[in-house]
Copies of this chain bind each other. A is one copy, B any other.
Amino acid sequence: MTRIGVPVPPGFTITTEVCALHGRDPRAAREQLAPALEGALRRLEEEQGRRFGERTDPLLVSVRSGAPVSMPGMMDTVLNVGITPAARSGLAARGGGGESGARFALDCELRLVEMFGDVVRGVPPATFTAPRRRALAAAGVLHARALPVEALEELLAAFRDGYARATGEPFPDDPLVQLHAAIEAVFASWEGGRAVTYRRLHGIPDDLGTAVNVQAMVFGNTGERSATGVCFSRDPATGEPGLYGEYLSDAQGEEVVAGTRTPLPVRRDLAAPTGESFEERFPAAYIELARVGEKLEAHYGDIQDIEFTVEEGRLHILQTRRGQRTGAAALRIACDLVDEGLITPDRAIRQVDPLSLGQLLAPIFDTAGRAAAEPRRLARGLAAGPGGASGRIALDAATAVAWAANGRGPVLLVRDETSPEDIAGMAVAAGILTARGGATSHAAVVARGLGVPCVVGCEALRIDEEERRLSAGGRRLAEGEWLSIDGSSGDVFAGAIETMDSEVLQVIDGALPPAESPAWGRFSRLLSWAGERRRIGVRANADTPLDARRARALGAEGIGLCRTEHMFFGGERLLAFRRMILAGDEAGRRRALAALLPWQRDDFRQILLAMDGLPVTIRLLDPPLHEFLPRGDEEADRFAAEAGIDPRAVRARIEETREANPMLGIRGCRLGLLYPEIIEMQARAVFEAAREARDAGGHPFPEVMVPLVGIPEEALRTRRIIDQVALQVFAGGEPIHYLVGTMIEVPRAALVAGRIAAGLDFFSFGTNDLTQMTFGFSRDDTASLIRHYVDEGILADDPFSTLDRDGVGALIRIAAESGRAANPALELGICGEHGGDPRSVALCRELGLDYVSASPLRVPGARLAAAR
């Protein structure tokens, strides 16, 4: 920033190498750092014309983290380092002298003792908040800056006493001691729980470490001609151009984002009638700030999140970083920056987080449902993260985490204000609501990063943590009751509200003309850039014609996984399927299967036509039979009565199909080899559907996939049955081209892949099951264990979310290499849920796969990842 002419207070940086050394050997780090630090301080003193530790006009510094990847609010900062009681009067002179100067100097010293105590020595917050509350009450004022000098002096004495009591030693009045301790505290905060959680959530490596920036202090708290603020170069919620931020006059550092005082807007046109905007109060600084924003955006090619301070009317930029933004904003900003000539489409693709595209496809409040909820509206706050969310009220992060883990349904985190300690709860919440704080408060920033709907600064909200309830608009709701927030309007409602399709999905389904949706325009523009650049194919996992149509509109190049078992659930189909399971012999099974054939053929025809001309991978029946049988004696007897079967036979068959470990039981191709008539029926349905689709003028391209193969002979025998049926169906007519392949989801299949590949046309890696069997992790049973492992650093990621490179990835590599060696034409894809995860997509590309397959709404993200 200094180099491009932005007004930054001078300073120097201690690199991440020192952080790493500090982690291994703190003493060595201290010894090596000391002389370099001394030299850097000397140069800073010369430039500022002030000396560190000097009394009449002391140089004060801020000590801030500087991690390679921004982790807003997660790392520690200590301001005002270098103050001592001896220099108090000298500092007061800088604050304009007189009573105002004295109050400024005392304010700085109070901030140092509190911040240093908290960050460096872990002194409990109440040590400082309790005496302050008492002082404010005694003086009858709302904020400390309104206290008289004497009260501030008494408060300072109380702070220093409290510090000494809590730590067992007096506050260090040696500026160099303060500086070293602050630097080490920033290093240490890299390993703090908040920072570690944040890194896990955002996939930031643990060994990067943080740098430390030591800068000359500038003061936003010298009085009404000074201020401090935070400002985005564009609106981070919508992407709309123009400065978007907040400030507080006579304030310092964290105050704006901490939510303790509700700040005022930067721009005049966004100001509420009650407060004065920065633009009005500091017109010259505002113009300079706007110029700085443009300069920084041009330099970094992205939206900036800028921290600034005005000292006696003069603007200083303290920090800038990439701005967190919602998915909608990311999309708009990327398109706008391309149009403004600031970035290329390549850069735009890299700038939009593939996962954030999902936000444009997430459900929004149903229009009618929202209208009906109007009588239940409790209050309105600031719209800080768009989207609608309903959930059970949770009044702290721990409760939110526990309820989310227990599957108690969506949770809405409701807090006075959030702090970095709440990060885990925010990550699992369906929505976030705070009573205080502005559009750049911690809650708002984190919510946008996570893509979680958020309303902040809802001042009508009263939270009673003791009684575990909240009140607003004259109503009371207990923790656990339902609440809804509209993060686009700021409205808060009692109860739940129905959701509907997002704008983009409405366009796709034809409910909204494309021209009426700017979001759709940008969405399709980005996807077409991605399509031109993608380096691995993207298909969809789709089981219904609707899903297939949507997936195609979202850019899918085919279906990678069509699960046929879903077609057997529900109503008459389930009844017929159960008859098949309960049949005592092959003839009975064949009769029941014949009844199922027309339904399945009809489904297949519609899906093939929805994906006309593109491949559709249809997986044969996969789950164990007992999943289709009634659960419990009561349901069994009801079914028996309905189907006219002896209830004892039904119960006996249920007992017979019960498995100790169904995941490793009789399912997939094993079922088909025990009851080949099932394969025959499904293959017939596929080929007859393809014939009908062709007769209707289509170009169907079915790929039949055999699940759970572990032995080459399983795949080859199943293929023989399938080919036999194809011969019969296409007899006397033009045959339709089709492929037969297998899922690779049993570890052994990967190990003997060469012999499987020789007789088949494609492999599709079923990475859900492959991960289960490779790790020996049942998804149903080990969710809490995996969370524990990730928290403890035993696993870097949940292997069900991000493909495991070392284990599962190694098997995929073995299978891909030996499969291609045996059959160079072999088509390779992945159909597990990993297909929608950007890092997993990158690994698939590295492993040489031809395509990934993801659920329809994750297709755009996968396509974007494929282009990155």
Contact pick for A774, options B747, B769, B785, CB 8 Å: B747
Residues of B near A708 (CB, < 8 A) are 776
With A666-B782, A747-B807, A776-B710 in contact, is A717–B794 under 8 Å at CB? yes
Q: Is A167 an interface residue (CB 8 A)?
A: no
Q: Is A663 an interface residue (CB 8 A)?
A: yes
- What mask results when residues 662 to 700 of chain A are scored 1 for a CB within 8 Å of chain B, else 0? 111110001001100000000000000000000000000
Contact pick for A747, options B745, B747, B788, CB 8 Å: B747
Smallest CB-CB separation from A772: which chain B residue? B664
With A773-B776, A810-B751 in contact, is A711–B794 under 8 Å at CB? yes
Residues of B near A659 (CB, < 8 A) are 778, 780-781
Smallest CB-CB separation from A712: which chain B residue? B806
With A710-B776, A776-B773 in contact, is A660–B663 under 8 Å at CB? yes
With A670-B785, A794-B714 in contact, is A778–B810 under 8 Å at CB? no
Contact pick for A775, options B674, B746, B794, CB 8 Å: B746
With A665-B781, A674-B788 in contact, is A752–B806 under 8 Å at CB? yes
Q: Is A511 an interface residue (CB 8 A)?
A: no
CA–CA, A95 to B746, complex, Å? 68
Residues of B near A807 (CB, < 8 A) are 710, 747-748, 751-752
Nearest CB in chain B: distance from A162 CB, A:
33
List the 6 closest pairs (A to B, CB-CB), nearest first. A664-B778, A748-B807, A661-B778, A660-B780, A665-B781, A746-B776
Q: Is A284 an interface residue (CB 8 A)?
A: no
B670, A713: Cβ atoms closer than 8 Å: no
Nearest CB in chain B: distance from A322 CB, A:
32
Which residue of A670, A708, A769, A793 has the most chain B CB atoms within 10 A of its CB atom?
Answer: A670
Within 8 A of B (CB), among A695-744: 708, 710-711, 713-714, 717
Q: Is A777 an interface residue (CB 8 A)?
A: yes
Residues of B near A329 (CB, < 8 A) are none
Contact pick for A795, options B711, B775, B776, CB 8 Å: B711
Smallest CB-CB separation from A807: which chain B residue? B748
Q: Is A599 an interface residue (CB 8 A)?
A: no
Q: Is A456 an interface residue (CB 8 A)?
A: no
Nearest CB in chain B: distance from A801 CB, A:
16
Interchain residue pairs with CB less than 8 A apart (21)? A659-B780, A660-B663, A661-B781, A663-B776, A664-B773, A665-B782, A674-B785, A674-B788, A710-B775, A710-B777, A711-B775, A713-B793, A745-B776, A746-B775, A747-B747, A747-B807, A748-B775, A751-B806, A751-B807, A751-B810, A752-B810
Contact pick for A663, options B661, B717, B794, CB 8 Å: B661
B774, A748: Cβ atoms closer than 8 Å: yes
Beyond A659-B778, A659-B780, A664-B776, 14 additional contacts (C-beta under 8 Å) are A660-B662, A661-B663, A663-B778, A664-B664, A670-B782, A670-B785, A710-B807, A717-B794, A746-B775, A748-B774, A748-B804, A748-B808, A751-B774, A769-B776
Q: Is A760 an interface residue (CB 8 A)?
A: no
Which residue of A660, A748, A769 has the most chain B CB atoms within 10 A of its CB atom?
Answer: A748
Q: Is A593 an interface residue (CB 8 A)?
A: no
Q: Is A789 an interface residue (CB 8 A)?
A: yes
Q: Is A841 an interface residue (CB 8 A)?
A: no
Residues of B near A444 (CB, < 8 A) are none
Q: Is A811 an interface residue (CB 8 A)?
A: yes
Residues of B near A785 (CB, < 8 A) are 666, 670, 674
CA–CA, A785 to B665, complex, Å? 9
Within 8 A of B (CB), among A337-352: none
Residues of B near A789 (CB, < 8 A) are 673, 711
Residues of B near A808 (CB, < 8 A) are 748
CA–CA, A755 to B793, complex, Å? 16
Residues of B near A674 (CB, < 8 A) are 785, 788
Smallest CB-CB separation from A793: which chain B residue? B713
- What mask results when residues 782 to 815 of chain A are scored 1 for a CB within 8 Å of chain B, else 0? 1001001100111100000000101110110000
Within 8 A of B (CB), among A454-486: none
- What mask results when residues 263 to 297 of chain A are scored 1 for a CB within 8 Å of chain B, else 0? 00000000000000000000000000000000000
Residues of B near A755 (CB, < 8 A) are 806
Nearest CB in chain B: distance from A659 CB, A:
4
Nearest CB in chain B: distance from A797 CB, A:
12
CA–CA, A777 to B782, complex, Å? 19
Nearest CB in chain B: distance from A814 CB, A:
9
Residues of B near A752 (CB, < 8 A) are 806-807, 810
CA–CA, A806 to B711, complex, Å? 10
Within 8 A of B (CB), among A627-682: 659-666, 670, 673-674
CA–CA, A810 to B811, complex, Å? 12
Nearest CB in chain B: distance from A710 CB, A:
5
Within 8 A of B (CB), among A587-631: none
Nearest CB in chain B: distance from A721 CB, A:
13
Smallest CB-CB separation from A747: which chain B residue? B747
Residues of B near A711 (CB, < 8 A) are 775, 789, 794-795
Smallest CB-CB separation from A660: which chain B residue? B780
B747, A773: Cβ atoms closer than 8 Å: yes
CA–CA, A661 to B807, complex, Å? 21
A776, B748: Cβ atoms closer than 8 Å: yes
A673, B794: Cβ atoms closer than 8 Å: yes
CA–CA, A776 to B663, complex, Å? 8
CA–CA, A666 to B664, complex, Å? 16
B717, A778: Cβ atoms closer than 8 Å: no
Smallest CB-CB separation from A714: which chain B residue? B794
Nearest CB in chain B: distance from A437 CB, A:
37
Nearest CB in chain B: distance from A673 CB, A:
7
B794, A713: Cβ atoms closer than 8 Å: yes
B664, A781: Cβ atoms closer than 8 Å: yes
A751, B660: Cβ atoms closer than 8 Å: no
Nearest CB in chain B: distance from A796 CB, A:
10
Residues of B near A811 (CB, < 8 A) are 747, 751
CA–CA, A745 to B808, complex, Å? 15
Residues of B near A660 (CB, < 8 A) are 662-663, 778, 780-781
With A773-B773, A776-B746 in contact, is A781–B662 under 8 Å at CB? yes
CA–CA, A745 to B747, complex, Å? 13
CA–CA, A806 to B661, complex, Å? 24
Residues of B near A777 (CB, < 8 A) are 664, 710
Smallest CB-CB separation from A784: which chain B residue? B666
Smallest CB-CB separation from A708: which chain B residue? B776
Residues of B near A775 (CB, < 8 A) are 710-711, 746, 748
CA–CA, A785 to B674, complex, Å? 8
Nearest CB in chain B: distance from A784 CB, A:
8
Within 8 A of B (CB), among A173-212: none
Contact pick for A661, options B664, B666, B774, B792, CB 8 Å: B664
Nearest CB in chain B: distance from A664 CB, A:
4
A781, B710: Cβ atoms closer than 8 Å: no
Nearest CB in chain B: distance from A751 CB, A:
5
CA–CA, A717 to B789, complex, Å? 12
CA–CA, A772 to B774, complex, Å? 11
Residues of B near A673 (CB, < 8 A) are 788-789, 792, 794
CA–CA, A665 to B783, complex, Å? 10
CA–CA, A717 to B792, complex, Å? 11
CA–CA, A661 to B663, complex, Å? 7
Nearest CB in chain B: distance from A567 CB, A:
24
Residues of B near A804 (CB, < 8 A) are 748
With A711-B789, A795-B711, A807-B710 in contact, is A664–B751 under 8 Å at CB? no
